[in-house]
């Protein structure tokens, strides 16, 4: 399994200087940036909860107000809060864009490879013969759809597995 996966990834991401590699790096950096903004918001919330548990009303009101400022972009909010709100929206949009772009890049490379293999020798005729014997329809379309689904799923899996976490962090 691992050897097959490695071979597929070599086809999908041919080298470190390819556009696909750049998209993968950009996606990784964006995932780290999103985690950073999430941690900032989490810090404000944990401070509010801590002050609530300690029954410190002044601190609680201050932290709730700070949290509210994070959610209100504009002139009345703090500059950092506005950056976090706008930054989070931009980062999430860029993550979606990079994920989709990476999936399309991988799909196109894998489909081109499969088509080259399909058209090599008598493979196309063998598949055509299988289609008539076993009543398989649209074999080439099925291959393309499977490759597309695999690419999208692998990018989603990568995004979910590479979400950085802060190890050893004390919560509330």
Structure token digits, residue 27: 């996606």
Residue 22 structure tokens: 């750049």
d(Cα 147, Cα 139) in Å, to the nearest integer? 12
Under DSSP, the state recorded for 122 is: T
| Angstrom distance (rounded) from CA 71 to CA 77 | 8
Average pLDDT over residues 80-100: 78
Q: pTM score > 0.95 for this model?
A: no
Report whether 172 contacts 49 (CB < 8 A).
Answer: yes
Work out the average pLDDT over 100-112: 90
The answer to whether the beta carbons of residues 95 and 27 sit under 8 Å apart is yes
Nearest to 165 by CA among 35, 26, 46: 35
Task: Report d(CA 111, CA 147) in Å as an integer.
Answer: 7
Separation CA 73–CA 91 (nearest Å): 16
Across the chain, mean pLDDT equals 77
Q: What percent of the chain has pLDDT over 70?
A: 72
Q: What is the pLDDT of residue 70?
A: 65
Using DSSP, state whether 172 is helix, strand or coil.
coil
**Does 166 score more than 60 pLDDT?**
no
- Alpha-carbon distances, residue 156 vs 34, 51, 100, 103 (angstroms): 16, 38, 10, 9
């Amino acid at each position: 399994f691992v050897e097959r996966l490695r071979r597929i990834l070599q086809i999908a991401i041919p080298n470190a200087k390819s556009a696909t590699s750049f998209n993968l790096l950009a996606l990784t950096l964006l995932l780290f940036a999103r985690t950073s903004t999430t941690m900032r918001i989490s810090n404000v919330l944990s401070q509010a909860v801590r002050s609530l548990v300690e029954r410190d009303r002044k601190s609680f009101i201050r932290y709730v107000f700070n949290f509210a400022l994070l959610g209100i972009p504009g002139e009345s909010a703090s500059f950092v809060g506005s950056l976090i709100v706008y930054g989070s929206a931009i980062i999430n949009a860029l993550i979606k864009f990079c994920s989709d772009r990476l999936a399309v890049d991988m799909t196109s490379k894998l489909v081109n490879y499969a088509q080259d293999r399909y058209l090599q020798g008598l493979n196309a005729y063998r598949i055509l013969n299988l289609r008539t014997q076993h009543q398989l329809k649209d074999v080439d379309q099925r291959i393309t759809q499977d490759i597309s689904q695999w690419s999208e799923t692998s990018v989603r899996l990568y995004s979910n597995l590479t979400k950085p976490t802060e190890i050893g962090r004390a919560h509330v």
